[in-house]
Structure 1
Amino acid sequence: MDALQLLTTRRSSKKLAAPAPSAEQIELMLQAATQVPDHGNMRPFRFTVIQSEDGLQRFRSLLRQTVTELNFGEESMIKAEKIGNMAPLVIGVGFRPNKEVAKPKPEWEQMLSAGCAAYALQLAANAQGFDNVWITGLWTNSPLMREAFGCGEKDKIIGLIMIGTPAEETGGGKNTDLSEFVQYW
């Protein structure tokens, strides 16, 4: 698949199955994620790879505990169970602002770099034949999840990238009507 085809046909998929990417494939995805635009070489991204059965069980437990401790209710518990079993590989993408350089860049700029890292991770998974989806919401703001991912006070979990083998064909890109989003001068 060439780069333009990859970029114009990328889509999210919540129908993921085993097998997960191999260790070598995960390494390539993480290498791609660290090559994103990063003004000042701040490296404000962090990754938590959840792939072992013990790691996935811990992840599922954290999702359930989040619902219980924050009193989100039965509907959220059902959603937690679904997310916990959605993919054979989860990579948490975190943002850690870097202030330990001579000329730190604004936090918003660093967060954009971490967002680009999450997207590059998705593209690298797709390029290797895996589907994925980027999950946010109450899970990424969970104090339990933040603690488990080693987040400091200013750190954020910007996404849980769920990755696996496509369980069904989802088709190509979205064929966006660009007229709503683009102006030409």
Structure 2
Amino acid sequence: MDTLELLLHRRSNKKLTHPAPNAEQLAQIFQAAFRAPDHGKLQPYRFIVIEGEGLKRLEVLLKAAAQELNLDEKQAAKAEKICGQPMVIAVVAKIDKTIEKVPAWEQMLTAGCATYSIQLAAQNLGFDNVWITGKWVDGSALRQAFECGATDKVIALIMLGTAKSQPDKEPKPVNPDKFVRYL
């Protein structure tokens, strides 16, 4: 797929089924993530691939986070939807606040760019996905399972798989006039 075509037609899709990317496809997806802009070449991110039995463990962790953080029933119920997907890739931003040359916000942006690169590479390989967060990413058991340090932040749970069906509508073009200015 042409790069511009991919960017213009990318969209989120929560209605996923098997298959998910295989090991070779995941290797390509992560290579794309490693190409994200990265001031200082810090690679301030880690990726956790969750599939099979790992999805059952993730569901337990998300439900524990919902209880710990006093989330409502609707939020807690989303754990089952998330873990009912073929694959989830968690992205942890590894922030080092002691690096003066590369402030924490730049490191966070790099992790975000790597996350988006995962989405684009997966889409290019024929897999639909959606990037979600939610308050439960701050659950202590989840952070422990993801081996998060004190300054680390879980920034994404990417649900990934094959589209059950294609969306009915094409994405609507956005008028850039409200967002673009020239100096």
Q: What's the TM-score, normalizing by structure 2?
A: 0.93
Question: In 2, distance between residues paired with 1:49 and 1:56?
Answer: 10
Matched residue type, 1:17: T
Q: Among residues 162, 165, 168, which one is paired with 1:165 in the alignment?
A: 162
Partner of 1:156: 153
1:1-185 alignment, distance < 5 Å: 1-51=1-51, 53-85=52-84, 87-98=85-96, 104-170=101-167, 171-185=169-183
The question of whether the paired residues in 2 share the 8 Å contact of 1:94 and 1:159 is answered with: yes
Displacement of 1:146 in angstroms is: 1.1
Question: In 1, distance between residues paired with 2:39 and 2:89?
Answer: 24
Displacement of 1:68 in angstroms is: 2.3
Report Cα offsets for 1:9-57 as digits up to 9, x if no partner.
Answer: 1101111111111111111111100111001101101101112x21111
What residue ranges of structure 1 are gaps of 5+ in the alignment? none
Question: In 2, distance between residues paired with 1:128 and 1:173?
Answer: 20
Question: In 2, distance between residues paired with 1:159 and 1:123?
Answer: 14
1:140 alignment partner, SS class: helix
State the Cα RMSD in Å. Answer: 1.6
Matched residue type, 2:132: I
The question of whether the paired residues in 1 share the 8 Å contact of 2:69 and 2:136 is answered with: no
Give percent identity, aligned residues only: 49
Displacement of 1:110 in angstroms is: 0.8
Aligned residues: 182
Report Cα offsets for 1:44-95 as digits up to 9, x if no partner.
Answer: 01101112x211110111111112233323222222222221x211100111
Displacement of 1:100 in angstroms is: 7.8
Matched residue type, 1:143: S
1:139 alignment partner, SS class: helix
Question: In 2, distance between residues paired with 1:80 and 1:99?
Answer: 31
Matched residue type, 2:182: Y
2:138 alignment partner, SS class: coil
